[in-house]
C-alpha cells in the first residue's frame, strides 16, 4: 500500500497525542520530532521535512493549541492542511487548449513508464469523450513503436508512426497534420527516453518543443526511485520547463518520498499517478485526499467513486438484461441490497468522514438505527418467501402474507408495504423502458 510505513507511524504518533487530553508544549515538540523522523524514513527530502515541521510547529503554537478543547485534533488538522499544501494544495489539471488539438508531450527516462502512461492518458481522455491520437516519436528504443501500437490497438486509439529512420521532430510535426485531417482533438507524443539525462536527449526534446509548441509537457517519473525521481524532475524542469508530472508505480511505493517532496522541490505539480500496470490504472492526483489517506482519515470521495464504478458496469448491465425481459424479481432486489451493504454500514461510512461524529450525535442514534432496522426487516421478509413467491409477487395472497409476516417476525402491514414499494419500483422501471423506446442501454451503458 502507498505510504504504508508513514501512515502507520503518523497515526501511532497522533494516537499518543490524543491520549494526553490537554497538551503541553513538550507534547507537541515530542510529536513533531516523531513526525520528522517518520517523514525522513519515508524518504522525503531533508529540507522539505525541515520546513514542514517548522511550519506546523509555528501554526500549532500560534493557534493556542494548548488552550483548545481538543488540542490533538487541532494538531492533526494542521498537519493535514500542511501535507495537502506540500503536495500542491488543490488538484492540477491538464491545460486543454481552447483551439484543438491540445498537444501533450510525454517525456522521461527509460523504464519510468512513459509509453504505458501515454496509453493510460489516452484512455482516460477517450472516456471523457475526447478523440486522442498517440504519436510514436521514441525512435531509439527498438520496441517502443510496436509497444505503443499494441497499446493503441488494445484501447482502440489511433497511433501515428512513420517509417524507420525518420527523425523524431519530423514525426512530431507530421502528427499534427494527421490530427487535423482525422479530427483528433488531443495529440499525445511519446518521446524517446534515455537511461540517464544527457545533452543529446535534452536537445531533441527542446527541438520537438520548439516545433510543435505543446500545451502541456508531462514528465513521467517512477515513484519507487524516491529522491532520484525528484532530482530527475528538477533537471527536466530546469532544461525543458515542465507543466506537470505523472508519478508512476505508486502502487508499489510504500514510502511515498517522491510524492511528498517533488512539488515542494521543483514547483511542478503531480497531475496523475500510476497505480498499476493495467491501462485503467491512472488516477488524477488529489493532494487533499492523499493527505487524508496518510493520516488515516479515510478517503471517502475515492471510496464513493470506486463504489460507483463497480456498481455501474457489472450491475447495470445485468439489471438491464432482467429489466428488458421484464423479470426483475424480489431476488434481484435482495441482491441489490446486498451490494449496497458491501459498502459497509452507514455508520462505518460516516465514521470515515472527519467531523461527522458530531453530526451523528445531533441526529441521534435512533434515526441511524432505524435505517439499519428497516433494511434488516426488508431482508427478513423477502427471505421468508418461497422462491415462487419471490419470482412472482402476484401470487402472494392474504394467507401467504400472514405466513410471511409470522416467518419474518414482522406485521402484515410491513409485508404489504414492501410489496407495494416493489410494485411501484417495477412500474417506474417500465416507464423508463418505454421512454427509452428502441434505444439500447440503461443508465448510460451500452
Ligand atoms: P518507458 O520506457 O518509460 O516507456 O516505460 P514503459 O511504459 O515501457 O514501462 C516500463 C514498465 O513499468 C512496464 O513493465 C510497465 O508495465 C510498468 N509500469 C508503468 N507504469 C506503472 C505503474 O503505475 N505501476 C506499475 N506497477 N507498473 C507500471
What ligand 1 atom has the least distance to the C-alpha of 220? 3
The whole-number pLDDT of residue 352 equals 43
* Dihedral angle, C-alpha 351, 355, 357, 360, nearest 10 °: -100
Query: What's the 433 CA to ligand 1 centre distance in angstroms?
Result: 44
Protein residue with its CA nearest to atom 13 in ligand 1: 113
Locate cell 501500437: which residue? 149
Query: What's the 172 CA to ligand 1 centre distance in angstroms?
Result: 22
* Dihedral angle, C-alpha 379, 385, 386, 387, nearest 10 °: -40
* Helical residues (DSSP H) of 218-329, grouped into ranges: 227-239, 257-266, 287-294, 300-310, 317-324
Domains and CATH numbers, the chain: 4-86 (1.20.120.140), 102-290 (3.40.50.300), 300-436 (1.10.260.30)
Burial 274-295 (b: 16+ CB within 10 A, else e): bbbeebebbbebbbbbbbbbbb
Query: What's the 114 CA to ligand 1 centre distance in angstroms?
Result: 7
Query: What's the 291 CA to ligand 1 centre distance in angstroms?
Result: 25
The whole-number pLDDT of residue 440 equals 40
What ligand 1 atom has the least distance to the C-alpha of 273? 23
Query: What's the 127 CA to ligand 1 centre distance in angstroms?
Result: 21
The predicted-structure confidence for 231-261, as pLDDT tens digits, reads as follows 999 999 999 999 999 999 998 887 889 999 9
Protein residue with its CA nearest to atom 22 in ligand 1: 249
As for ligand 1, residues whose beta carbon falls within 6 Å of it are 108, 110-116, 193, 220, 248-249, 251-252, 274-277, 281
Give dist(CA 154, CA 148) in Å, integer: 10
What ligand 1 atom has the least distance to the C-alpha of 141? 2
Q: Which of 107, 108, 112, 113 to mutate to test the pocket of ligand 1 (most atoms within 8 A of CB)?
A: 113
Which of 126, 123, 39, 133 lies closest to 83 in space, CA to CA?
39
Helix (DSSP H) and strand (DSSP E) numbers for the chain: 20, 8
What ligand 1 atom has the least distance to the C-alpha of 275? 23
Give dist(CA 205, CA 159) in Å, integer: 20
Q: Which of 277, 279, 281, 283 to mutate to test the pocket of ligand 1 (most atoms within 8 A of CB)?
A: 277
Per residue of the chain (446 residues), give pLDDT as tens. Answer: 567 788 888 888 888 887 776 777 888 898 899 999 999 999 999 999 999 999 998 888 766 665 665 777 778 888 989 999 999 999 999 999 999 999 999 999 999 999 999 999 999 999 999 999 999 999 888 789 999 999 999 999 999 999 999 999 999 999 999 999 999 999 999 999 888 888 889 999 999 999 999 999 999 999 999 999 999 999 999 999 999 999 999 988 878 899 999 999 999 999 999 989 999 889 999 999 888 878 866 555 555 565 565 555 566 667 667 766 667 788 887 877 666 665 554 544 444 444 444 444 444 444 444 356 777 888 899 999 999 999 899 999 999 999 999 999 999 999 999 998 888 877 777 766 665 554 443 333 32
Q: What are residue 308's phi and psi, to 5 degrees?
A: -60, -45
Protein residue with its CA nearest to atom 28 in ligand 1: 277
- For the chain, give percent helix, strand, coil, nearest 5: 60, 10, 30
What ligand 1 atom has the least distance to the C-alpha of 109? 3
The whole-number pLDDT of residue 393 equals 92
With beta carbons less than 8 A apart as the criterion, state whether 133 and 160 touch: yes
Predicted complex ipTM: 0.99
Amino acid at each position: 500500500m502507498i505510504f504504508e510505513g508513514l501512515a502507520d507511524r503518523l497515526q501511532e504518533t497522533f494516537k499518543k497525542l490524543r491520549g494526553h487530553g490537554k497538551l503541553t508544549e513538550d507534547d507537541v515538540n515530542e510529536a513533531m520530532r516523531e513526525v520528522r523522523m517518520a517523514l525522513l524514513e519515508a524518504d522525503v527530502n531533508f529540507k522539505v521535512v525541515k520546513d514542514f515541521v517548522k511550519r506546523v510547529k509555528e501554526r500549532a503554537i500560534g493557534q493556542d493549541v494548548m488552550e483548545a478543547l481538543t488540542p490533538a485534533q487541532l494538531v492533526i488538522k494542521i498537519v493535514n492542511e500542511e501535507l495537502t499544501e506540500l503536495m500542491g494544495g488543490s488538484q492540477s489539471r491538464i491545460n486543454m487548449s481552447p483551439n484543438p488539438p491540445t498537444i501533450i508531450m510525454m517525456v522521461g527516462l527509460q523504464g519510468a513508464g512513459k509509453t504505458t502512461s501515454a496509453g493510460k492518458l489516452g484512455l482516460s481522455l477517450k472516456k471523457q469523450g475526447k478523440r486522442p491520437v498517440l504519436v510514436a516519436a521514441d525512435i531509439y528504443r527498438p520496441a517502443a513503436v510496436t509497444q505503443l501500437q499494441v497499446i493503441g490497438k488494445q484501447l482502440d486509439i489511433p497511433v501515428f508512426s512513420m517509417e524507420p529512420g525518420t527523425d523524431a521532430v519530423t514525426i512530431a510535426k507530421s502528427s499534427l497534420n494527421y490530427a487535423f485531417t482525422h479530427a483528433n482533438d488531443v495529440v499525445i507524443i511519446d518521446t524517446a527516453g534515455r537511461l540517464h539525462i544527457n545533452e543529446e536527449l535534452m536537445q531533441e526534446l527542446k527541438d520537438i518543443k520548439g516545433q510543435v509548441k505543446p500545451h502541456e509537457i508531462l514528465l513521467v517519473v517512477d515513484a519507487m526511485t524516491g529522491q532520484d525521481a525528484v532530482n530527475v524532475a528538477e533537471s527536466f524542469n530546469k532544461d525543458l520547463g515542465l507543466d506537470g508530472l505523472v508519478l508512476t508505480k505508486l502502487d508499489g511505493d510504500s514510502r511515498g518520498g517522491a510524492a511528498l517532496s517533488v512539488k515542494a522541490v521543483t514547483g511542478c505539480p503531480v497531475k496523475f499517478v500510476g497505480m498499476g500496470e493495467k491501462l485503467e490504472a491512472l488516477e488524477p492526483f488529489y493532494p487533499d485526499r492523499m493527505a487524508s489517506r496518510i493520516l488515516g482519515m479515510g478517503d471517502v470521495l475515492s471510496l464513493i467513486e470506486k463504489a460507483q464504478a463497480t456498481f455501474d458496469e457489472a450491475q447495470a448491465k445485468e439489471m438491464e438484461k432482467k429489466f428488458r425481459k421484464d423479470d426483475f424479481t424480489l431476488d434481484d432486489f435482495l441482491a441489490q441490497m446486498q451490494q449496497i451493504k458491501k459498502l459497509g454500514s452507514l455508520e462505518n461510512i460516516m465514521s470515515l468522514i472527519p467531523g461527522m461524529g458530531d453530526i451523528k450525535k445531533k441526529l441521534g442514534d435512533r434515526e441511524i438505527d432505524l435505517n439499519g432496522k428497516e433494511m434488516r426487516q426488508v431482508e427478513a421478509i423477502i427471505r421468508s418467501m418461497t422462491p415462487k413467491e419471490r419470482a412472482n409477487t402476484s401470487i402472494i395472497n392474504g394467507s401467504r402474507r400472514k405466513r410471511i409476516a409470522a416467518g419474518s417476525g414482522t406485521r402484515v402491514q410491513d409485508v404489504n408495504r414492501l410489496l407495494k414499494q416493489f410494485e411501484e419500483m417495477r412500474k417506474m422501471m417500465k416507464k423508463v423502458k418505454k421512454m427509452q423506446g428502441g434505444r439500447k442501454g440503461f443508465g448510460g451503458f451500452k
